[in-house]
């Protein structure tokens, strides 16, 4: 959510003209933009890649996955997702930016003052995102084939989950491809237009995975409700489900 928050605050708030006076009055924001604007997208891309690798290992190597992919491994990957973007784009910490008015879009945006570093940022981010896209597309194709094969003899309800899996794969892949394309865009005002699109790409990339997982997995869905809404919603959910089960059982008798 840090990634999404950074995109919203530093790109959409100026566009919506929220807190413009406050942002302009505090120079600290000018120094935060350059590193965050690259770290945030790459952190999302990295998280997406780890998720796809997780799914691939779970489906293709279930025994090894169960043995090796522990909570410690997940925690390590989370740390990597935070530290790696910071390390790669650390040279931006010395860069500054300024809030400028863009007449063609009738909005404000942050502009990095060091053009050379801005170009380097785009090159690095494009290469990393392109690599992630290749990995994601390849593994998603393998995952879908494996999932389809596993669900061949399952119930119709379970087999229909392949369409949700397909939606997830297409959604994440399109987000990564779009991110690649907009990083290297060369048309007039392309860099400015990209900032508006990132507002949709990054949140979508971040949210597609957990939403599809909650829909597909009843166990995870119940665990989610139990963890966040244990005192009220989850108990009512179980109560309603038990009532439905009782009614169905009574009808059968």
Average pLDDT of the chain is: 76
Q: What is the CA radius of gyration of the chain?
A: 22
Given this model, what pLDDT does residue 188 score? 47
What are the angstrom distances between the C-alpha of 99 and each of 38, 90, 109? 17, 22, 5
CB 109 within 8 Å of CB 100? yes
- Burial per residue of 129-162, b for 16 or more beta-carbon CB atoms within 10 angstroms, e otherwise: bbebbebbeebbeebbeebeeebeeeeeeeeebe
Domains of the chain in start order, with CATH, are 1-216 (1.20.1070.10)
| Residues of the chain with confidence (pLDDT) below 70 | 1-4, 154, 156-162, 164-165, 168, 179, 181-206, 230-253
Given this model, what pLDDT does residue 59 score? 85
Given this model, what pLDDT does residue 72 score? 92
Given this model, what pLDDT does residue 1 score? 61
**CA pair distance 35, 49, nearest whole angstrom:** 21
Question: Which among 248, 218, 239 has a CA at the least distance from the CA of 157?
Answer: 218
**CA pair distance 242, 248, nearest whole angstrom:** 10
**CA pair distance 134, 15, nearest whole angstrom:** 33
Helix (H) or strand (E) holding 131: helix 115-150
How far is C-alpha 7 from the chain's CA centre? 12
**CA pair distance 155, 152, nearest whole angstrom:** 9
Given this model, what pLDDT does residue 246 score? 46
Tell whether pTM > 0.75.
no
- Residue 144, token pair as written in the block: 């879908």
């Amino acid at each position: 959510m840090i990634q999404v928050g950074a995109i919203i605050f530093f790109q959409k708030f100026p566009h919506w003209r929220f807190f413009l006076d406050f942002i302009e009055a505090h120079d600290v924001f000018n120094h935060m933009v350059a590193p965050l604007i690259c770290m945030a997208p790459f952190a999302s891309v990295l998280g997406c890649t780890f998720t796809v690798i997780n799914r691939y290992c779970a489906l293709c190597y279930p025994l090894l996955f169960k043995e090796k992919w522990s909570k410690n491994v997940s925690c390590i990957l989370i740390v990597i997702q935070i530290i790696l973007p910071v390390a790669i784009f650390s040279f931006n910490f010395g860069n500054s930016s300024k809030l400028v008015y863009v007449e063609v879009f009738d909005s404000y945006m942050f502009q990095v003052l060091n053009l050379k570093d801005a170009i380097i940022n785009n090159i690095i981010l494009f290469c990393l995102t392109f690599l992630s896209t290749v990995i994601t597309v390849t593994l998603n194709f393998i995952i879908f084939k494996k999932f389809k094969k596993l669900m061949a003899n399952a119930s119709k309800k379970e087999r229909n989950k392949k369409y949700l899996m397909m939606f997830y794969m297409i959604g994440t892949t399109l987000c990564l491809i779009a991110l690649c394309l907009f990083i290297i865009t060369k048309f007039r005002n392309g860099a400015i237009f990209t900032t508006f699109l990132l507002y949709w790409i990054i949140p979508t990339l971040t949210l597609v995975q957990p939403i599809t997982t909650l829909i597909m997995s009843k166990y995870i869905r119940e665990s989610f409700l139990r963890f966040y809404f244990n005192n009220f919603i989850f108990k009512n959910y179980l109560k309603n489900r038990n009532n439905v089960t009782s009614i169905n059982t009574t009808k059968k008798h």
